[in-house]
Amino acid sequence: MNEVQSGQNGEEAKKRNPMRMALAGVILLGVAAVLYVIASASFKPSGPADLTEFKKGAFEKLDVPAKPRPAPTTVFTSMDGKPTTLADFKGRVVVMNLWATWCAPCKAEMPTLAKLQAAYATQPLTVLPISVDRDSDLNLVREEMAANPP
């Protein structure tokens, strides 16, 4: 069908086409703005989270302090042998995983934690696996960590 058959002449077609382009541009900008706001909000901590909403079912006895407590000052040894504390990760989200080489479920979740760390490599997130194995099992810990590095 040509412009004459559809009842439009060249002048009307020219007027309508820029309007459609402008409308599409406005819609595209709106979608981009919404995505930007969502992405920005999801990566910036807004302060202490209210965890009381999670006090249901299995988490009914969850201890939710009125004021956040400071991270414990317990010292642990990093894979490179350096003394480390949680304070060394200040400003980062820390996913701490206490695990052991003799714990089958712990070992099964290591690849998932490695993928989590990789997925957020550009974000302020650290997956921190802390082995509760004996010092005599350090070689086993190193082997497991080499297979699934955080």
Candidates 107, 97, 93, 91; CA nearest to 76 is 97
CA dist 96 and 109 (Å) reads 13
Q: Are both 77 and 143 inside the same structural domain?
A: yes
Q: Are both 95 and 126 inside the same structural domain?
A: yes
For residue 20, what pLDDT band results from cuts at 50, 70 and 90? confident
Q: Are both 61 and 32 inside the same structural domain?
A: no
CATH number at residue 139: 3.40.30.10
The pLDDT value recorded for residue 130 is 84
Q: Is residue 49 part of a domain?
A: no
Domain that holds residue 17: 1-44
Cβ atoms within 10 Å of 142's Cβ, excluding its own: 13
Q: Are both 71 and 110 inside the same structural domain?
A: yes
Longest CA span, the chain: 88
Q: Are both 60 and 104 inside the same structural domain?
A: yes
Report the domain count for the chain.
Answer: 2
- What digits encode the pLDDT tens for the residues 38-81? 766 665 555 556 777 778 888 888 888 878 778 788 888 888 88
Which of the pair, 87 or 25, is modelled with greater confidence? 87
CA dist 72 and 88 (Å) reads 12
Angle between helices 104-119 and 138-147 (to 10 degrees): 40
